[in-house]
Amino acid sequence: MVWVLGGLAAGAITAGLAELLAGLLTRLGWVGGEPSPVLAVGAAFIDRTPPWLKDFAISTFGTHDKTALLVGMAVVLVAACAVVGLLLRARPQLALVVLALLGVVGLAAVLTRPGAQPLDAVPTVLGVAAGLALLTGVRRALVREPVAESSGATRRSALTLVGLGVAGGALTALGGRALAAGQRTVQAARERFVVPRVARPVTVPAGAELGVPGSTPFVVPQRDFYRIDTALVVPQVDPATWRLRVHGMVDRTVEIDWETLLSKPMQEAMVTLMCVSNEVGGDLNGNAIWTGWPVRELLREAGVRPGADMVLSTSTDGFTAGTPLEALTDERNALIAIAMNREPLTPEHGFPARLVVPGLYGYVSATKWVTDLKVTRFADDEGYWTPRGWSARGPVKMSSRIDVPGGGDRIAAGTVAVAGVAWAQHTGIRAVQVRVDDGPWQAARLGADATVDAWRQWVFSWRATPGEHTLAVRAQDRTGAWQTEEEAPPAPDGSTGYHRIYVVVQ
């Protein structure tokens, strides 16, 4: 038992020292990538997760999938350290090798994170060095007490080891405090930031919000807005050090800082953001008013060279999206967005700046914490999700959803408001119809049309009769095309099919 404690103490000191140093480096802004070996391994794991495992994790843990990953890693680490402790008794050499190997895994992850630089290695190297030294010391101390486990000496050793383990935990906590201090700096910058007024503000037309209880609001508040990204911890980006660089197939490389961005004429655009992972009837989408500077203006300053057809945007954490150049240069309001519903972006939604491109799924366009735009070609570059089984191009597919009643609800007979949203980004919705059981398609009443880039609410007044019923919805876009009934899963380029719900009327 005391040997296991030795292994755990060595692990705690290794991780604690590494996390403390990583926290300090991050706090000082001296890092290029992710200096914490634990977070780097987690991030590397996320990047290499095969699609089936990702789907399993999301369906099992939902948006807590990252917490589940961290807990899983902690369990594996504790088990590995216990084994190191046992080995220390019988095969001390091997124990040192196993701890060193864990360090090598951490180091490999740290050094392969996007933007990694040599300094990022320091926390892992020093942490592992301390752990190895501790293991050697523990071995020397424990072999000098060949007496029974219950002896006073062994009890003292055990207490010392527990103390060392607690010390390791304290170091980790101090590292966490350094990170929290960085978070407060970003939080303070966010609170100081006053969202600029624009010359022509977006207005929400009267009647766009139908106000049916339980239906998704026409404009979704930031705190309720869905969040999807690959970041294990939310990146904390200080506007004071933020830069956005445009390079690649351009006449001149342009780099702007936060002050420069804020000096540009800002625009507002109402855009419904959509996740390609959304299942039919799912809620991975939301509509907001975004404030920002059109991407095309920045591209104009750089001067796009002929032959380019894609812009690869990169975030501080290495996520990339490949957006068709055309979608960023045509008349649509593709923005370098700095505000959502006239509030600064929250760190979760990309503070200080992100991209928003009407008509394209988020994975090929909506890069949060964006710092780099490379003008390039689809033939030469690809975004994060393309080699992971998703299509290189991701125009949003027309779809519609029933928000109320909820699937499986028991409702009272009489007049029931069936309501939801429908979208056909950048084309616009012309009509929505509802079908009860095998009856005819019947027209729903649409909320006022704000823009072709936003969804529309709809409501249908249903005379519900007792029994079990199935409700289905379909939309028609402005070109006259109807939403397809053909079912497709989210991968590789977006789900299709009718949203159907089943209700019991009493």
Ligand X SMILES: Nc1nc2c(c(=O)[nH]1)N[C@H]1C(S)=C(S)[C@@H](COP(=O)(O)O)O[C@H]1N2
> Which residues form the interface with Mo ion (CB under 5 A)?
228, 275, 362-363
CA distance 169 to 273: 41
| Shortest distance in whole angstroms from residue 442 CB to ligand X | 33
CA distance 133 to 172: 19
From the list 7-15, 183-191, 313-321, 425-433, the region that binds ligand X by CB under 6 A is: 313-321
Q: How far is CA 239 from CA 1, 262, 266, 324, 481, in A?
A: 50, 11, 17, 27, 44
| Residues contacting 44, CB < 8 A, separation 6+ | 109, 112, 113
Comparing every residue's Cβ against ligand X, the nearest one is 362
238 three-class SS: coil
Q: Give the residue among 477, 466, 404 at the shortest CA–CA distance from 215.
A: 404
Nearer to ligand X, 353 or 471 (CB): 353
Q: How far is CA 373 from CA 265, 343, 491, in A?
A: 20, 24, 26
230's contact among ligand X, Mo ion, none, with CB below 5 to 8 A by partner kind, is ligand X
**What does the per-residue mask of binding to ligand X show for 261-280, with x meaning CB under 6 A?**
------------x-x-----
Per rule CB under 6 A, count of chain residues that contact ligand X: 18
Provide the β-strand partners of residue 250.
304
Q: Would you say 388 and 442 are in contact if contact means Cβ atoms under 8 Å apart?
A: no
Nearer to ligand X, 369 or 462 (CB): 369
| Shortest distance in whole angstroms from residue 334 CB to Mo ion | 17
The single residue among 332, 368, 426, 499 that binds ligand X, judged by CB under 6 A, is 368
The single residue among 128, 366, 375, 472 that binds ligand X, judged by CB under 6 A, is 366
Nearer to Mo ion, 121 or 228 (CB): 228
| Shortest distance in whole angstroms from residue 358 CB to Mo ion | 15
Q: Is 367 in the site for ligand X (CB under 6 A)?
A: yes
| Shortest distance in whole angstroms from residue 358 CB to ligand X | 14
Neighbours of 425 (CB within 10 A): 28
| Shortest distance in whole angstroms from residue 62 CB to Mo ion | 15
Q: Is 230 in the site for ligand X (CB under 6 A)?
A: yes
The single residue among 27, 349, 401, 474 that binds ligand X, judged by CB under 6 A, is 349
379 three-class SS: coil
Q: Give the residue among 482, 486, 502 at the shortest CA–CA distance from 494.
A: 486
Q: Is 363 in the site for ligand X (CB under 6 A)?
A: yes
Q: Would you say 64 and 159 are in contact if contact means Cβ atoms under 8 Å apart?
A: no
Residue ranges binding ligand X (CB under 6 A):
225-230, 273, 275, 315, 317, 319, 349, 362-363, 366-369
